[in-house]
Amino acid sequence: MDIQNLIIIGSGPAGYTAAIYAARAELKPLLFEGRQLGGQPGGQLMLTTEVENYPGFPEGLTGPEMMANFKKQAERFNTEIVSDDIVEVDFSVRPFILKTENKEYKANSVIICTGAQAVWLGVEGEQKYQGAGVSACATCDGFFFKDQEIIVVGGGDSAMEEANFLTKFASKVTILVRRDELKASKIMQRRSMDNAKISFLWNTEVQEVLGDGNRMTGVKIINNQTKETSELNAGGLFVAIGHKPNSDIFKGKIDLDEKGYIVVGQGNTKTSVEGIFAGGDIIDYIYRQAVTAAGTGCMAALDAERYLSSKE
Ligand code: NDP
């Protein structure tokens, strides 16, 4: 069996950027774009509509267009792309072993860019109106909600941050909290409470996202104490109830933090296993942007290149 120099797992901005850099350094990377784990090839950008904040594209472009460009650029430098999921890894042997459902691969180094996925509410209408009012990223989509009333769901730091950010555009932001207190840090709580455009509905859960068939128009909510239901009109619903890193297959194989994100060194992309690197949202629950993911994907390729040449 051939031994690959470098296998990259994941096809979001981090994976493809790692591939572009590694391929141009003549490492002949093999990239697994994934089929079903963690969403789909292309990662979370496949779920967004317009991307206006990726530098270099002054007119903006759609998430899927952007990922098609990333892929094309990786292929231009002879990245071999495999349309399959890695389902099992053995990082305790050298070369490392990576398995798909029905094939085994060996590699001298690996870059993990499997990303994360937003946790959704799982209520009726939520999926239908994704990209048509329903979003999980205020930084990405907030701009499209100028002068509209917006609902944010969640009680953590993400929900507070998203709500505050959204007040730049929205006429009003209502935060729905399922308990009678917030989980967010005190400073973030204070910032939201002090913001005149933000109000809270406590003990409140979304039961259904309502719409006119094309766009969402509001939500049906329930007070989980009184069991009273009502409808709330809004042009947007931002779900901020956490993210889940796609790291299940790495449990016990490399160090993960308590939330399941891969732990890397300070200012580099080295994991706890020498020769295994990680970039993108799988190492980052704070910034979560295409451009930051691309940045750490680039770092991972440079780290891998350095590692491989030190072993020659
Ligand atoms: P968290 O897990 O901290 O908070 C999730 C929130 O969503 C909780 O309030 C939780 O409620 C609520 N929730 C979960 N499921 C549901 C549901 N089905 N319906 C309604 N509400 C629900 O996630 P975050 O994304 O907010 O933060 C993740 C990490 O990132 C944290 O460590 C946070 O501190 C950090 N972060 C830091 C920032 C900063 O410092 N600037 C910005 C953003 C994130 P409950 O409280 O009842 O469990």
Q: Tell me: the pLDDT tens digits for 68-110?
A: 999 999 999 989 999 999 999 999 999 999 999 999 999 999 9
Pocket of ligand 1 (CB under 6 A): 121, 153-159, 161, 178-179, 183, 205, 241-242, 285-286
Q: Is residue 190 predicted with pLDDT exceeding 70?
A: yes
141 is catalytic: yes
Please report, for the chain, the start and end positions of each structural domain, with discontinuous segments joined by +. Answer: 3-118+243-311, 134-239
- The pLDDT of residue 272: 98
Look-up: residue for tokens 């697994």? 32
Rounded to an integer, the average pLDDT of 196-201 is: 98
298 is catalytic: no
- The pLDDT of residue 200: 98
Write the CATH number of the domain with boundaries 134-239: 3.50.50.60
Q: Which entry of 85, 113, 137, 298 is annotated as an active-site residue? A: 137
Comparing 38 with 244, which gets the higher pLDDT? Answer: 244
- The pLDDT of residue 41: 85
Look-up: residue for tokens 């507070």? 160
Rounded to an integer, the average pLDDT of 225-242 is: 97
In the numeric block, which tokens belong to residue 211? Answer: 């719409």
Measured in angstroms, how far is the CA atom of residue 312 from the centroid of ligand 1?
Answer: 45
* Backbone torsions φ then ψ of 98, nearest 5 degrees: -130, 135
Rounded to an integer, the average pLDDT of 122-132 is: 95
Q: Which atom of ligand 1 is nearest to the CA of 161?
A: 42
Q: Is residue 181 predicted with pLDDT exceeding 70?
A: yes
User: Residue 18's pLDDT band (boundaries 50, 70, 90)?
Assistant: very high
Model pTM?
0.81
Q: Is residue 284 predicted with pLDDT exceeding 80?
A: yes
Q: Which entry of 2, 84, 90, 141 is annotated as an active-site residue? A: 141
Count of all residues that appear for the chain in the document: 312
Q: Which atom of ligand 1 is nearest to the CA of 155?
A: 9
Rounded to an integer, the average pLDDT of 183-188 is: 95
Specify the residue with its C-alpha closest to ligand 1, atom 4: 156
Measured in angstroms, how far is the CA atom of residue 45 from the centroid of ligand 1?
Answer: 21
Measured in angstroms, how far is the CA atom of residue 184 from the centroid of ligand 1?
Answer: 7
User: Residue 4's pLDDT band (boundaries 50, 70, 90)?
Assistant: very high
137 is catalytic: yes
User: Residue 43's pLDDT band (boundaries 50, 70, 90)?
Assistant: confident
- The pLDDT of residue 139: 84
Nearest to 236 by CA among 215, 256, 205, 212: 215
Specify the residue with its C-alpha closest to ligand 1, atom 11: 155
Query: Range with the lowest mean pLDDT among 1-5, 16-20, 253-257, 298-302?
Result: 1-5
Rounded to an integer, the average pLDDT of 58-67 is: 92
Q: Is residue 39 predicted with pLDDT exceeding 60?
A: no
Helices (H), the chain: 13-24, 63-76, 138-141, 157-166, 186-193, 290-311
- The pLDDT of residue 35: 79
On average, the pLDDT of the chain sits at 95
Measured in angstroms, how far is the CA atom of residue 150 from the centroid of ligand 1?
Answer: 18
CATH architecture of 3-118+243-311: 3-Layer(bba) Sandwich (3.50)
Q: Which atom of ligand 1 is nearest to the CA of 121?
A: 18
Measured in angstroms, how far is the CA atom of residue 284 from the centroid of ligand 1?
Answer: 15
Residues 6+ apart with CB under 8 A from 312: none
Comparing 34 with 228, which gets the higher pLDDT? Answer: 228
Specify the residue with its C-alpha closest to ligand 1, atom 3: 156
- The pLDDT of residue 204: 98
- The pLDDT of residue 1: 72
Rounded to an integer, the average pLDDT of 273-284 is: 98
Comparing 35 with 242, which gets the higher pLDDT? Answer: 242
Rounded to an integer, the average pLDDT of 284-288 is: 92
Rounded to an integer, the average pLDDT of 179-193 is: 96
Number of DSSP helices (H) and strands (E) in the chain, helices first: 6, 19
Per-residue buried b or exposed e for 102-127, using 16+ beta carbons within 10 Å of the residue's own CB: eeebbbbbbbbbbbbbbeebebebbe
Q: Is residue 145 predicted with pLDDT exceeding 70?
A: yes
Q: Which entry of 2, 85, 113, 140 is annotated as an active-site residue? A: 140
